[in-house]
Amino acid sequence: MIKLREAPDKWTVTAYNKDRYGKHTRRSKRITGSKQKAKRVEKELIEELAAIKIGFEYSGLTYGEFLEKEFFVHIDSHSPSEYDNLVCSMRKWCVSIWHLKLDAINPKDIRSILDTMGEDCAVSTVKKMRSFILRSFNLAMEGGLKSNPVSTVKVDQKNCKEFEPGVLNREEITILLTQAKILKPDWYPIWAVSLFTGLRVGELIALLKQDCLLQDKMISVNKSWNKKIGVKSTKSGRWRKVPIADNLMWYG
């Protein structure tokens, strides 16, 4: 139904149908333009409702709308420890498909995102993004999307930037700890333990006195910490023991 809201070119376009359960559904848009444009919008709304009727729950949503309303909420509920990284990464790298309709995105669109990332990111980062996008479309398929455009796209490692491992050498460690004693004395022991054990930040925060077995010169790493959920398992889900370097023993 097309209704002139305000002469000469402001229209209200409305379409009606039923979903697959027989419940009445409606889509409505206000537009400015010719009546021909209003007819095109009406046709789009009718198609959206038809898709909903046959079972596509997210019909009419853009990819960005789907992420914000459905996928990010799903991640926060099921994997809160990776929520922040996932949301920030997808908002940054999925700009090219953000305003495309969810069911209009094809493998070429996904390939373009991964190739663009490869110019600035390591292959592991690109693979992680592919995993994020793949999972978003898997969720969309649970809502009736016919196919996943990511499933046939692989990360081309030749297009990814190569990075040298970011490991400090002995001289750099000495400089860091020397300056830490002067500028940040409260942080000195934390940075020292981190450098000499290789513990992750979350593992350091969760470390308790009883986890440090001084008589055995070992640290039992059995938990981590995350700002979303607090104390949790380690990243790998496994416990491990880390030797305490002689340089750290005096501080214990």
The pLDDT score that the predictor gives to residue 55 is 60
Q: Show which of 17, 32, 53 is a domain's final residue.
A: 53
User: Percentage of the chain surpassing pLDDT 90?
Assistant: 43
**Residues 77, 154 within the same domain:** yes
**C-alpha 205, offset from chain centre:** 24
pLDDT at position 18 is 81
What is the domain-level CATH number for residue 86? 1.10.150.130
Q: Answer whether residue 190 shows pLDDT above 50.
A: yes
Whether 164 is covered by a domain: the verdict is no
Note if the pTM is more than 0.85: no
| Average pLDDT, integer, range 108-135 | 94
Please name the residue that has the structure tokens 């196919």: 147
**106 has a pLDDT exceeding 80:** yes
Q: Does residue 126 contact residue 114 with C-beta atoms inside 8 Å? A: yes
Query: CA–CA distance from 194 to each of 2, 190, 245, 252 (Å)?
Result: 66, 6, 11, 14
Q: What is the pLDDT of residues 7-37, one digit of tens each?
A: 899 999 999 888 766 788 888 999 999 999 9
How much is the pLDDT for 137? 97
Q: What is the DSSP letter of 101?
A: B
Secondary structure class of 236 (helix, strand, coil): coil
Are 88 and 37 in the same domain? Answer: no
Mean pLDDT, rounded, for 199-212: 89
Average pLDDT over residues 122-139: 95
Total residue count of the chain as it appears in this document: 252
The stretch 166-182 carries a mean pLDDT of 87
Averaged pLDDT of the chain: 88
211 pLDDT exceeds 70?
A: yes
Q: Residue 165 falls within a domain, yes or no?
A: no
- pLDDT of 147 strictly over 60: yes
Residue 69 has pLDDT above 60, yes or no: yes
Residue 184 lies in a domain: yes
- pLDDT of residue 43 exceeding 70, the answer is yes
Running DSSP on this structure, what letter comes out for residue 82? G
Please give the single-letter amino acid code of residue 30. R
159-137-116 Cα angle (round to 5) = 20
Residue 69 within any structural domain of the chain: yes
Identity of the highest mean pLDDT range in 62-66, 198-202, 212-216: 62-66
Query: Could you tell me if 48 and 80 lie in one domain?
Result: no
Per the CB < 8 A criterion, the answer to whether 17 and 46 are in contact is yes
CB 199 within 8 A of CB 207: yes
Of residues 114 and 168, more confidence is placed in: 114
Q: Rounded to 5 degrees, what are φ and ψ at 251?
A: -75, -25
